[in-house]
């Protein structure tokens, strides 16, 4: 647990020391620039398709990093890479500011997975030295904006599960200091499914 704590603190300090990721965009300008994004993510960032993430209420700093990572190739995604290819950092900050200003809609939680999902999210798995998800993503799932840790509350469970599985397989590797990969590599399919379901209705 001590080792994991050091990793978390190191990653947090590294994030705070990256001034270029401190998004301070213009929401009004972002709304206009996000017109094409709305096709997949919804006019207000609440996508109707479970394979497309909800962006409403997501912290801007996290979104800017993801857009930059798609553009650089650090995060794989051919569709998103094409979408962001022509965006400047200012464009990204404006779009992120727009979606951050919107309110995410909440989903439901599978009652059969509630207890397991809540246990892992709030307490981790002590026997595996897996820290509680709430340590970085907040008890209410709103994330940690200054640190750039994403909000999870209301996210489509299908999308969340996909990302957790990609972190576990290594297909997605743009997490700070391998934090997510270190955590999810020790979790089972059932545990990942329970987490994805739990955060969908978390608030």
Domains annotated on the chain, with CATH? 2-7+106-200 (1.10.760.10), 19-100 (1.10.760.10)
For the chain, count helices (H), then strands (E): 11, 0
pLDDT of residue 24: 86
Q: Which two tokens stand for residue 92?
A: 């990204």
3-state secondary structure (DSSP) of residue 144: strand
Cα 104 to chain centroid, rounded: 13
pLDDT tens for residues 114-165?
Answer: 999 999 999 999 999 999 999 999 999 999 999 999 999 999 999 999 999 9
Dist. CA 176–CA 82, nearest whole Å? 24
Compute the CA torsion angle 23, 93, 65, 2 (nearest 10 deg): 20
Residue 50 confidence (pLDDT): 97
Query: What does each C-alpha distance from 66 to 40, 58, 93, 115, 144 come to in angstroms?
Result: 16, 11, 11, 31, 15
Q: Please provide the size of the chain in residues.
A: 203
Tell me the backbone φ, ψ of residue 112, rounded to 5 degrees: -75, -20
| Cα(25)–Cα(159) distance, integer angstroms | 26
64-81 burial: b if 16+ Cβ within 10 Å, else e:
bbbbbbbbeeebeeeebe
Rounded Cα gap, residues 5 and 161, in angstroms = 24
Residue-by-residue pLDDT tens, the chain, 203 positions: 444 443 443 444 343 334 344 458 999 999 999 999 999 999 999 999 999 999 999 999 999 999 999 999 999 999 999 999 999 999 999 999 999 999 999 999 999 999 999 999 999 999 999 999 999 999 999 999 999 999 999 999 999 999 999 999 999 999 999 999 999 999 999 999 999 999 999 99
**pLDDT score, position 22:** 47
């Amino acid at each position: 647990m001590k080792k994991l704590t050091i990793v978390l603190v190191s990653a947090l300090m590294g994030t705070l020391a990256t001034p270029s990721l401190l998004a301070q965009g213009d929401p009004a300008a972002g709304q206009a620039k996000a017109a094409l994004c709305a096709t997949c993510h919804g006019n207000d960032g609440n996508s109707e398709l479970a394979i497309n993430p909800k962006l409403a209420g997501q912290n801007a700093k996290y979104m800017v990093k993801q857009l930059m990572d798609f553009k650089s190739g650090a995060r794989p995604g051919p569709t998103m890479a094409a979408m962001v290819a022509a965006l400047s950092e200012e464009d990204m900050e404006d779009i992120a500011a727009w979606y951050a200003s919107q309110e995410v809609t909440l989903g439901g939680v599978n009652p059969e997975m509630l207890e397991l999902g809540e246990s892992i999210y709030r307490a981790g798995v002590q026997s595996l030295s897996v820290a509680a998800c709430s340590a970085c993503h907040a008890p209410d799932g709103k994330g940690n904006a200054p640190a750039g840790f994403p909000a999870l509350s209301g996210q489509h469970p299908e999308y969340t599960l996909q990302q957790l599985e990609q972190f576990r397989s290594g297909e997605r590797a743009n997490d700070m200091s391998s934090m997510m990969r270190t955590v999810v590599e020790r979790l089972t399919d059932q545990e990942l499914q329970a987490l994805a379901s739990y955060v969908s209705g978390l608030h």
